């Protein structure tokens, strides 16, 4: 005997089963008009949703030329850095440049890099570096001019800036709390943008609707990598690399930038993932490269990255 709903007394009217109800809900979702993007396009700022192990929150991100921005002040944050005890400081003999690495990740990466192929690659890179040093020494004043030109180019580079304050990323659990903060006039690093006042005057909670490409699930990355090569979600991992690089730059996290820098094991993972999603020979070679990347090293590295980002989040209700 067919089950009848008390809300629909007409027995002749067909009843939707769970599958039909889900389909109907999907149709309603598709028919719903997308959030108005006009304001975001005008102010050149975007809402972003980031999921971390501690929860999911909303924030804002923009891209501007580096010369237009004042970096976030990390002096106060670094006085209470929970990762200081786990950092390894390495000073090069030539220029005393300080490189900060996570000890556990660096040790495991070093073990994997001891193959003959990696040794040859390191030798080639060292030879190029030595040749570069010789060229710089001979160039003299010309090298200084080139450095000035590089500085100008760096100033023209478009870089990310987030809703941050004193070296911490501000994440809001609801659109309403984010809008309330923006309207309050509280200090933050995005307020230096020329479009900030317009945004604060016009923004409504309904506007906080991040696009799919502005939604990131960092809380799933480590578990996905632990599942092994066949379980890796390429889109998830590629997007995680994009937001992690942006956050590391904007929040001034040199350890994270170093772990994702060109030539690192995690950068190799990123390149192989990007190649594998393409068709043809490039996709085939990318998938072969992925098989050679250690799942343990990748998951450990990303665990460190997610931890360092989480440590500088200021959660707001």
* Structure confidence at residue 133 (pLDDT): 55
Report pLDDT digits (tens) over 2-20.
444 444 444 444 454 555 5
**pLDDT confidence bin for 85, thresholds 50/70/90:** very low
Domain ranges of the chain: 35-316
* Structure confidence at residue 58 (pLDDT): 98
Return the C-alpha torsion angle 118, 307, 162, 184, nearest 10: -170
Return the C-alpha torsion angle 234, 240, 246, 250, nearest 10: -170
Q: How far is CA 239 from CA 61, 217, 252, in A?
A: 15, 8, 20
Answer whether residue 102 shows pLDDT above 80: no
Q: Closest Cα to residue 163, out of 48, 39, 70?
A: 48
Answer whether residue 308 shows pLDDT above 50: yes
Residues contacting 153, CB < 8 A, separation 6+: none
Q: Which of 78-92, 195-209, 233-247 has the lowest mean pLDDT?
A: 78-92
**pLDDT confidence bin for 147, thresholds 50/70/90:** low
pLDDT, mean of residues 263-278: 89
Answer whether residue 49 shows pLDDT above 50: yes
Q: Which two tokens stand for residue 28?
A: 């309603």
* Structure confidence at residue 152 (pLDDT): 57
How far apart (Å, rounded) are the C-alpha atoms in residues 127 and 193?
44
Q: How far is CA 99 from CA 90, 130, 262, 263, 269, in A?
A: 6, 19, 14, 15, 21
Q: Which two tokens stand for residue 156?
A: 């023209």
């Amino acid at each position: 005997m067919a089950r009848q709903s008390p809300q629909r007394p007409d027995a002749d009217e067909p009843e939707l089963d769970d599958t039909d109800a889900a389909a109907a809900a999907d149709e309603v979702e598709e028919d719903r008009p997308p959030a108005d993007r006009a304001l975001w396009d005008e102010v050149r700022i975007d809402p972003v949703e980031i999921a971390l192990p501690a929860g999911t929150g909303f924030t804002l991100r923009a891209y501007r030329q580096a010369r237009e921005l004042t970096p976030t002040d990390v002096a106060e944050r670094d006085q209470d850095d929970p990762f200081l005890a786990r950092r390894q400081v390495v000073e090069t003999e030539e220029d005393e440049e300080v490189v900060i690495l996570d000890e556990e990740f660096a040790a495991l990466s070093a073990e994997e890099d001891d193959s003959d192929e990696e040794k040859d690659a390191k030798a080639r890179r060292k030879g190029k570096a030595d040749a570069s040093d010789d060229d710089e020494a001979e160039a003299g004043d010309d090298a200084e001019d080139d450095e000035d030109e590089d500085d100008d180019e760096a100033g023209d580079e478009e870089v990310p800036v987030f809703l941050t304050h004193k070296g911490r990323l501000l994440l809001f659990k609801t659109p309403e709390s984010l809008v309330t903060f923006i309207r309050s006039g509280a200090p933050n690093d995005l307020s230096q943008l020329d479009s900030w006042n317009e945004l604060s005057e016009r923004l409504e909670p309904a506007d906080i609707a991040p696009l799919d490409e502005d939604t990131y699930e960092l809380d799933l990355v480590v578990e996905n990598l632990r599942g092994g090569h066949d379980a890796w979600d390429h889109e998830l991992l590629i997007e995680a690399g994009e937001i992690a690089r942006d956050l590391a730059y904007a929040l001034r996290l040199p350890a994270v930038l170093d772990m994702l820098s060109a030539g690192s094991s995690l950068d190799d993972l990123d390149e192989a993932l990007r190649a594998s999603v393409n068709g043809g020979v490039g996709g085939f070679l990318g998938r072969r490269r992925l098989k050679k990347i250690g799942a343990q090293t990748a998951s450990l590295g990303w665990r460190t990255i997610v931890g360092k980002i989480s440590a500088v989040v200021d959660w707001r209700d």
